[in-house]
């Protein structure tokens, strides 16, 4: 049993985690003709909790209640993994990435997320307003505007041969490259990070 717990608490290699995620799509399609996706769950929660005759929320959300159970399972699984199966070792980051991150002042790899960015002090600062609040709004807006999140389009959409998902995934990647290589450094300088 101890070996199993040790194995679970270690980062899984891509050839194990990738197929497990990828197999979620055909399993959902085969057992219930369901589409894998997380971002639509917020819409279902709003439709269930705030019946306000808003056209976007007037549909039979009960048909999609499995999706909310799935999201609840993700939250519970994340909690259990963090509390009971967390890896005590530092997060492994490639040396070249560490050099790039050091230029931004990120050097602590003891937590899953960089402590220099994700802390209470940053949350209530101008940087936090820009990155977390405005950035979070833009991610949420973009998700709804694109008809799904990056993972939903890349995992579910492409695997079910949906042309719009392929186009969306290409532009998600291009947007990430442009932001990382052309906009992030000047933006970090602007806000004094």
Q: Where are the domains of the chain?
A: 1-89
Q: Which helix (H) or strand (E) holds 10?
A: none
Cβ–Cβ < 8 Å for 168, 153: yes
Token output for 161? 């041969």
* Backbone Cα Rg of the chain: 19
Report residues of the chain scoring pLDDT below 70.
185, 188-193
Round to whole Å and give the CA distance between 17 and 21. Answer: 6
Report pLDDT digits (tens) over 130-147.
878 888 888 888 887 878
In this predicted structure, what is the pLDDT of residue 2?
A: 77
Which residue from 189, 172, 185 is spatially nearest to 100, judged by alpha carbons? 185
In this predicted structure, what is the pLDDT of residue 14?
A: 83
Burial class (CB in 10 A: 0-12, 13-18, 19+), 126: exposed
10 Å Cβ neighbour count for 151? 16
In this predicted structure, what is the pLDDT of residue 121?
A: 85
Angle of helix 41-49 versus helix 65-84 axis, rounded to 10:
110
Round to whole Å and give the CA distance between 193 and 106. Answer: 10
Cβ–Cβ < 8 Å for 130, 191: yes
pTM above threshold 0.75: no
SS (H, E, C) 73-119: HHHHHHHHHHHHCCCCCCCCCCHHHHHHHHHCCCCCCCCCCCCCCCC
In this predicted structure, what is the pLDDT of residue 192?
A: 62
How distant is the alpha carbon of residue 171 from its chain centre? 17
């Amino acid at each position: 049993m101890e070996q199993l717990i040790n194995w679970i608490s270690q980062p899984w290699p891509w050839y194990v985690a990738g197929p497990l995620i990828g197999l979620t799509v055909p399993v959902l399609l085969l057992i219930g003709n369901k589409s894998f996706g997380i971002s639509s769950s917020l819409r279902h929660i709003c439709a269930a909790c705030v019946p306000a005759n808003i056209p976007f929320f007037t549909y039979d959300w009960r048909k999609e209640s499995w999706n909310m159970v799935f999201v609840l399972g993700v939250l519970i699984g994340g909690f259990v993994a963090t509390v009971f199966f967390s890896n005590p070792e530092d997060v492994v980051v490639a040396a070249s990435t560490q050099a790039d991150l050091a230029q931004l002042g990120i050097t602590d790899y003891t937590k899953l997320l960089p402590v220099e960015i994700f802390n209470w002090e940053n949350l209530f600062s101008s940087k936090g307003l820009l990155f977390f609040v405005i950035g979070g709004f833009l991610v949420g807006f973009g998700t709804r505007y694109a008809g799904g999140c990056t993972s939903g389009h890349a995992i579910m959409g492409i695997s079910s041969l949906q042309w719009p998902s392929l186009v969306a995934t290409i532009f998600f990647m291009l947007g990430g490259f442009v932001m990382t290589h052309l906009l992030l450094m000047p933006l970090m300088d602007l806000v004094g990070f």
